[in-house]
Amino acid sequence: MGCFPCAGNSDKRLDRDKTQTNNRNRRDDRAQSTAEKLKSGPHKCENPKAVDQSSAAKELDVRKEEVSENGGTEGFKARPFTFAQLVAATENFKSEYFLGEGGFGKVHRGKLVDTGQIVAIKQLDRNGMQGIREFVVEVVTLSLADHPNLVKLIGYCAEGEQRLLVYEFMPFGSLEDHLHGILGRRPNMRRLDWNTRMKIAAGAAKGLEYLHDKMKPPVIYRDLKCSNILLDEGFLPKLSDFGLAKVGPVGDKTHVSTRVMGTYGYCAPDYAMTGQLTFKSDIYSFGVVLLEIITGRKAIDETRSGTEQNLVAWARPLFKDRKKFPQMADPDLEGQYPMRGLYQALAIAAMCVQEHPNMRPLIADIVTALNYLASQTYDPLNPSPQTSRRAASSKKDCEEGPNASNGPRGIKPED
């Protein structure tokens, strides 16, 4: 019996447990080291902070259990993939299949061997800004979401030090590509017309409404921007990249206190200053996106001078001068837009980017207003009196303008 501690001796029991734990850790370290030595190829991990499969899997299991206890889900839909399956799908991440790169990492087009489905595969950059926490949030959030304006997560890989996300493929790229990138400049790719822009704005608003009002628990997106709005066939917009998403306040709570995260130019000033995250933080970001859609300008453009670098700072004084509203329209529209629709869209954007969060509208009201604008099809070859830029009926809208205290019918600032 000399080899075992007495049942009543707690100190010796703790020493024994500590020794066994250290031995297990050493064995795990040796196994991990051996596995790393056996690996080859360009995807070998060299980051000592990499999270192994058990860590990712454990946190995913914990999140799934938490959601299951809270209700609101009928199952965890994301499919687990092995790394070998995704290597095969991308032909070892072939350069010709490269689609782009963001905060999480590089994205490649792929084709699943077993189903033949075309997908987009995003691989974590181990030296990048995002890590295991964002990976888990993305998997859990999109696995429980089901809406036509949210990108679908097909599955994920958390094998060894590899972390990858598999999405449905969006053939039309991102909204940023069309407004500011190379897609909009290709000879065979037409510039976004007014009708398409309003359709994209309305669809993005619907996706945000689902997160705020339909998901249980509700979710604050926290990273709404043009590069995260992907476009499917027919320019159907879908929100993507939910690594920064946060469960919103419920009950009597008005905000969630958290680290300030997001993208400069889109982040609400009240959230940036206080760290108090609310649903109205997303509304501000949406207002910036809507301004980009209307004006064709970037949220932050360092090639411009002075206040013109910041889109909201440039737009605010123009909101007060009705004669300058047409100057805010994207020159690429070449004047092909309804004047009344322009004023109403600017009114929505102006209310969304107000400095005081309580004055910003609710997402449900934004959806109502943008659905109306999207339904008013503009025909540049046959403009009706209601949509013509020169119509007398638009004079009243011009006189009212997108002031902070008023806006198009169906949308009002929250009291």
Q: Is 61 marked active-site?
A: no
Length of the chain counted residue by residue: 415
Q: Which residues contact 131 (CB under 8 A, 6 or more apart)?
A: 49, 51, 124
Q: Residue 169 in contact with residue 111, Cβ under 8 Å?
A: no
Q: Residue 227 in contact with residue 102, Cβ under 8 Å?
A: yes
For the residues of 299-341, what is the DSSP string, one character each? SB-TTS-GGGGBHHHHHHHHHT-GGGGGGGS-GGGTT-S-HHH
Q: Which of 223, 241, 365, 397 is catalytic?
A: 223
Tell whether residue 122 is among the known ligand binding residues.
Answer: yes
**Distance between CA atoms of residues 281 and 360, nearest Å:** 9
- Among 307, 228, 298, smallest CA distance to 262 is for 228
DSSP3 helix / strand / coil % (the chain, rounded to 5): 45, 10, 40
**Distance between CA atoms of residues 88 and 208, nearest Å:** 35
Q: Residues annotated in the binding site for ATP, as ranges?
A: 122
Known catalytic residues are 223
